Chain A
Amino acid sequence: MARVVVDVMLKPEILDPQGQAVQRALPRLGFQGISDVRQGKRFELEVDGPVDAAALARIHELAETFLANTVIEDFVVKVEEVQETRKAEEAAK
């Protein structure tokens, strides 16, 4: 089993009012020197079976058609192996 992470961000040219609101709150909280904040979404997909090229292609399609709206958003797909300890924990159950 593996985990695939899909990160979705508004395209750089698209205004991000939520990120701006977070950024504007920072000086008030005593955090200086942060000139911009952009807010995105992270999806963690637990995949059954091997994450081979075919599986990745399917996930890419899923991200492109559903998780991201490519009119306004970019996305990145990354594979993260699930740690051995967690596998062992699950086996023990």
Chain B
Amino acid sequence: MTARIGVVTFPGTLDDRDTQRAVRVAGAEAVPLWHKDKDLKQVDAVVLPGGFSYGDYLRAGAISRFSPVMESVIEQAKAGMPVLGICNGFQVLTETHLLPGAMLRNNHLHFICREQKLRVENAETAWTADYTAGQEIRIPLKNIDGQYTADERTLDMLEAEGRVAFRYLDGNPNGSLRDIAGITNEAGNVVGLMPHPEHAVEPLIGTGRTDGLGFFTSILKKLVNA
């Protein structure tokens, strides 16, 4: 049976179609989920894609966190369902407190859009098993609220538990503390990152590389083996 991966669309989401496509390129079935629906349509995993949900009013991801679909996503994530938050999706995951810390405006206040080098620090999460720890990948980055912050205790805890999943290489694009580009929860089923793997799954578009495909093949493998 094909794995079913839900992709949530909030008002203001813009990367839902690219994410659905990435899911299909990896060989899974992409299931569109609407922010007003509590029903997750029996998906095996959920991706919260990038964009500007609810216009990023109040704080990025703050209003989406209280949408009907997120009630179900939070409940299922706590029960172990894999959830990946990309960019705005990562912001939503910090607002839900499924992931610790918070996101601030980039330290230089500019919107940034470029190819970004990352190091995969944790290759044991549900979304990173097809990478190897220490592997360097290049995927697009585009955001203005991408500065990851948390208090020292939380940062030390993330480091000690191996929960810094990705780190920026060759320059920190937004002032994120300890060069953190992405983190995972304790169980490894919830992962958030600022750069966009869904824009680097086919050689013809984006960076011309397919470095992002591993996220979607990782989850597929995990679900098929489960």
Binding site for B on A (CB under 8 A): 14-15, 17-18, 21, 66-67, 69, 71-72
Whether the Cβ atoms of A18 and B105 lie closer than 8 Å is yes
Residue among A14, A18, A71 having the largest count of chain B Cβ atoms under 10 Å: A71
- CB contacts under 8 Å to A, within B104-146, are 104-109
Output the least CB separation between B58 and chain A (Å): 7
| Chain B residues whose C-beta falls within 8 Å of the C-beta of A17 in the assembled complex | 104-109, 147, 175
Main secondary structure of the interface of B (DSSP, over half): loop
| Chain B residues whose C-beta falls within 8 Å of the C-beta of A72 in the assembled complex | 102, 104, 149
A18, B108: Cα distance in complex, Å: 9
Binding site for A on B (CB under 8 A): 58-59, 62, 66, 94-95, 100-102, 104-109, 147, 149-150, 175
Whether the Cβ atoms of B109 and A69 lie closer than 8 Å is no
Q: Beyond the given A15-B149, A66-B62, please list 16 additional residue pairs across the A-B interface where CB-CB is below 8 A.
A: A14-B104, A17-B104, A17-B105, A17-B107, A17-B108, A17-B175, A18-B105, A21-B109, A66-B66, A69-B59, A69-B62, A71-B101, A71-B150, A72-B102, A72-B104, A72-B149
A71, B154: Cα distance in complex, Å: 11
A55, B102: Cα distance in complex, Å: 29
| Chain A residues whose C-beta falls within 8 Å of the C-beta of B102 in the assembled complex | 69, 71-72
A-B complex: 6 closest residue pairs judged by Cβ atoms = A71-B102, A72-B102, A17-B107, A17-B109, A17-B105, A69-B102
Residue of A nearest to B97 (CB): A71
| Chain B residues whose C-beta falls within 8 Å of the C-beta of A18 in the assembled complex | 105, 109
Whether the Cβ atoms of B107 and A15 lie closer than 8 Å is yes
Whether the Cβ atoms of A67 and B108 lie closer than 8 Å is no
Output the least CB separation between B145 and chain A (Å): 11
| Chain A residues whose C-beta falls within 8 Å of the C-beta of B58 in the assembled complex | 66-67
A72, B60: Cα distance in complex, Å: 13
